[in-house]
Structure 1
Amino acid sequence: MSGYLFLVFVFSCLSITAADLYHGPETADSHKVDKDDFVGRHHGESLSKFITRVLQPNTEYLDKCGRTINKVAELMRSKLVPHKVAATIKGGSLGKGTAVKQMADADLLFPLGGISSVKELSVKLPEILKTLQSALDRSGHKVTSIKKTPFTIQFLISIDGVLQDVDLLPIVDLGIQHPTKENLKTIYTEMKKNENLRDYYMKCLSFLQVNFVKQQPPKVKSVIRLLKYWIKTKQHKLKSYGAELLVIKAYEDLGSPLSIREEDLAINVFGKLTDLRSLKVSWNKYFDPKNFNVPSAPYILDPACPYHNLIRQKSGGIDDKYVYLERDAKKILNVLKDQDYRSKRGEL
């Protein structure tokens, strides 16, 4: 295992409302929408046009996010941080290519010398976080709302008049250049033996999560944006990464076609959300789930971590927050099916 430490920066735009996300012009037809449809979608508008108009981030927005990433990266490579920084890896929705307009987040992984193992990281992490907080205090940027968690420092930073949420997360370079089941086997064995280190290992494997989503085709990423937007505007609790994985699995269940309509994929995605008690999502790309304790349904198992269920439940049934998600999924599924039927008949 090479002696590097990574810092992951997770930043996102500030909290927004459904109204903030909608930028389309109002017309007479704009108001002829089903109350259960996507917020801001015009009457008869295809999902493709809606995604392009409302959800697809433009170049100006992506450039703004990129400048913030670069400024924070420069700070962590400065003398204010007493660690040697190597190359950076961009993750989050920007790195994966699944960012939604006004809802982007990014992870920046920084290899820093000095930490040789996950166990050493777990011991030194509190002191490392103090060092990072000190660097923020002396950075010259307007940094507010600093909060430390067991793994991160969370704060607001103002750069070029733009206020951003940022998370700093130190992790260790596991020394895996070309991940395969074989060279990851040792890591998963260590995770199985050391329950107290599993969360640390999971953070270190975040690059696998990025690569898994990043390689998906554009239409899949479009429906990922659609699902994230629906979750945000409906105020549901499904994590963004869980939403990404759910759409990918729905696409695979349709046979991973080279050409697919957003409507067909979205109907499959929301169909899965209407029956959570039967929802089982997993892969065997990096490990065989059967070799670990697979949870009972529902589960969306991280393809990079056998212990990370993105839709974890309390024992004894479905959590209330997911009951409401299931209910709303049935409503939007009915809308999608009805509009698709009428569109094919030329009624829209």
Structure 2
Amino acid sequence: MARPKPRPCPHGCSNRLFCSNKARRRHVHKHHGPVPDFCNECKEPFLSETALQHHNRDKHDNPLPLIQRISTLSLTNPAFGISSTFSTGFGGGFSNGFGGGLARGFAGASALSVGSTSSGLRTVSSIPCDLYCQTNLDNYIETTIQPDTTFLVNENAAVDSLVHMLQHNVPDEIRPARVIKGGSLGKGTAVKGKSDIDLTMMMSWERYPNVAALKANMKMVLPTLENTLRRMPNIRVDGSTTHAVQVTMTDCSGKEHAIDILPAVDLTQYESNETIFRRMLGPDSSIKAFYSASLAPLQVDLVRGLPTKVKSLIRLIKFWNKDKVKPILEDRCPTSYVYEIIIMDAWVNAGRPHAFDMKKAAHAVLTKLRNHRSLEICTPGISKYQRCDADIRHSTYIMDPCNPTNDIYNNRSFDWAGVAEEAKKWLDKQVFDGVKNFAASWY
């Protein structure tokens, strides 16, 4: 019997050949997904609607093309709060209860639902429209951006198990006193289907009483940590940087999570912020980069303590960044933490409201991004230091509120002009019609 022809990954993964289409589909769905086409009965992913049609014909005795088996099309218009159902065979056109054309229905549609038939056709519900088509930002955050409970439970369980292993299953010389859960998961600003996770290993104070001691031993700490992680279940080590080991962890549902693990000195537990900052600005200025991980608890507490509505605004801007900005700018795109700082500054300038109009708040933040050359951010009330202690050397700056030596605007090569251009595109959309100059009030 002839051996099956090996099938390559359609996304160009090197040295990845699969003996069956099923294995290839699962690889694509796991590493490049999500694959949009599923069989409603088998729950198998398919790379195209044509492949799904063939599967339905061969496995479920359904010879009809997929598009002919759609029985109802439901369109919901958020602008008018109305729903209409169109009956179709895709041969004789559309009819609806309003007597209007199909174009009007699609122009305001934000969701598309395809009804199931007895033949086992998959059901697709709540397919979100493009972000730039939205007129109800609060609803879009709730239905499209905010993560569901299952995702958060699985992710937290996976991360907690890794934290437990780091506390109990590593050699004594690198065993942490505690582990800080950072990134969007620790701060409470995760976006549906994706979140960044940082785990900061606060090393034993007895072994590492200062940053210089950790820096001197980092060539031992990181390789030891990397070798230990390679032996842990459900962990794949992807590499390391000067300050961290990067891994991918698979949770109980099979979803993968990228995690950075950073060894650090537990400074904030034993020293005041003023003492830490004085060292960074003084005799330890040459190794100040190694202080960043040690300041992680300050960053997490700062964002975690924000009102829920502000976190929703952060999620919205992060989603916009991931969906619109990052595909264009790639590595020159600002990090989530940069957007968090800009949003917190705008929130303070608006009077720290707990409830506000999301359109006005988003407009204020996007206007700041569009006018990025005017940014002067060292915000009283959220910064952990006095303005006079900040190491400001430029007319435009974004000072990290937890690090007086870190001017994020000038220390990183982000493409601010590209961010401003994309911010202007969104500001010109219908959602912001009539919204302007609300920087001082978001009500």
Which category of TM-score, normalised to the shorter sequence, fits these structures? 0.7 to 0.9
Runs of 4+ in 1 over 6 A off after TM superposition: 13-17
Distance between the aligned counterparts of 1:218 and 1:128, measured in 2? 38
Deviation at 1:288, TM superposition (A): 2.0
Q: Which residue of 1 aligns with 2:250?
A: 158
Q: Which residue of 2 aligns with 1:255?
A: 351
1:190 to 248, 265, 279: 279
Distance between the aligned counterparts of 1:39 and 1:280, measured in 2? 35
Deviation at 1:164, TM superposition (A): 2.1
Distance 1:169 1:85, change over 3 A: closer
Distance between the aligned counterparts of 2:411 and 2:268, measured in 1? 34
Q: Which residue of 2 aligns with 1:240?
A: 336
Q: Which residue of 2 aligns with 1:108?
A: 199
Q: Which residue of 1 aligns with 2:321?
A: 231
The secondary structure found in structure 1 opposite 2:130 is coil
1:298, 1:311 within 8 Å by CA — same for their partners in 2?
yes
The secondary structure found in structure 2 opposite 1:72 is helix
Distance between the aligned counterparts of 1:320 and 1:136, measured in 2? 32
- The residue type equivalent to 2:181 in the other structure is K
- The residue type equivalent to 1:78 in the other structure is H
Deviation at 1:77, TM superposition (A): 2.1
Q: Which residue of 2 aligns with 1:131?
A: 224
Query: Pairwise CA RMSD of aligned residues?
Result: 3.0
1:68 to 147, 155, 158: 158
Identity over the aligned pairs, expressed in percent? 27
- The CA deviation string for residues 243-280 of structure 1, in whole angstroms up to 9 with x for no partner, is 11111111111111232111111111011111111011
2:198, 2:262 within 8 Å by CA — same for their partners in 1?
no
Distance 1:270 1:106, change over 3 A: same
Distance between the aligned counterparts of 2:387 and 2:32, measured in 1? 36
The secondary structure found in structure 2 opposite 1:283 is coil
1:239, 1:310 within 8 Å by CA — same for their partners in 2?
no
Distance between the aligned counterparts of 1:140 and 1:260, measured in 2? 45
1:141, 1:157 within 8 Å by CA — same for their partners in 2?
yes
Distance 1:279 1:212, change over 3 A: same
- The residue type equivalent to 2:199 in the other structure is L
1:32 aligns with 2:100: no
2:387 to 289, 305, 312: 289
The secondary structure found in structure 1 opposite 2:433 is helix
Deviation at 1:157, TM superposition (A): 3.1
Distance between the aligned counterparts of 2:134 and 2:218, measured in 1? 53
Distance 1:137 1:88, change over 3 A: closer
The secondary structure found in structure 2 opposite 1:111 is strand
2:292 to 197, 202, 218: 202
Distance between the aligned counterparts of 1:171 and 1:71, measured in 2? 20
Bigger CA drift: 326-335 or 108-117? 108-117
Distance between the aligned counterparts of 2:322 and 2:133, measured in 1? 21
2:235, 2:249 within 8 Å by CA — same for their partners in 1?
yes
1:246, 1:281 within 8 Å by CA — same for their partners in 2?
yes
Q: TM-score, normalised by structure 1?
A: 0.80
Number of aligned residue pairs? 312
Deviation at 1:198, TM superposition (A): 0.7
Distance 1:189 1:43, change over 3 A: closer
The secondary structure found in structure 1 opposite 2:147 is coil
Distance between the aligned counterparts of 1:132 and 1:312, measured in 2? 32
1:1-348 alignment runs, 5 A limit: 27=75, 29=77, 31-32=106-107, 40-41=130-131, 45-82=135-172, 83-113=174-204, 114-144=207-237, 146-160=238-252, 161-176=254-269, 183-193=272-282, 194-234=284-324, 235=326, 236=329, 237-284=333-380, 285-312=383-410, 321-335=415-429, 336-338=431-433
Structure 1 or 2, whichever has the larger Rg, is 2
- The CA deviation string for residues 261-303 of structure 1, in whole angstroms up to 9 with x for no partner, is 1111111101111111101111343212333431324322111
Distance 1:186 1:28, change over 3 A: closer
Deviation at 1:325, TM superposition (A): 1.1
Distance between the aligned counterparts of 2:134 and 2:341, measured in 1? 29
Distance between the aligned counterparts of 1:142 and 1:214, measured in 2? 27
Distance between the aligned counterparts of 1:56 and 1:125, measured in 2? 38
Deviation at 1:53, TM superposition (A): 0.6
Where does structure 2 lack aligned partners over 5 or more consecutive residues? 1-29, 38-72, 78-104, 110-127, 437-443
Bigger CA drift: 222-231 or 253-262? 253-262
Distance 1:263 1:75, change over 3 A: same
- The residue type equivalent to 2:299 in the other structure is Q
Distance 1:188 1:63, change over 3 A: same
Distance between the aligned counterparts of 1:121 and 1:52, measured in 2? 43
Q: Which residue of 2 aligns with 1:5?
A: none
Deviation at 1:224, TM superposition (A): 0.6
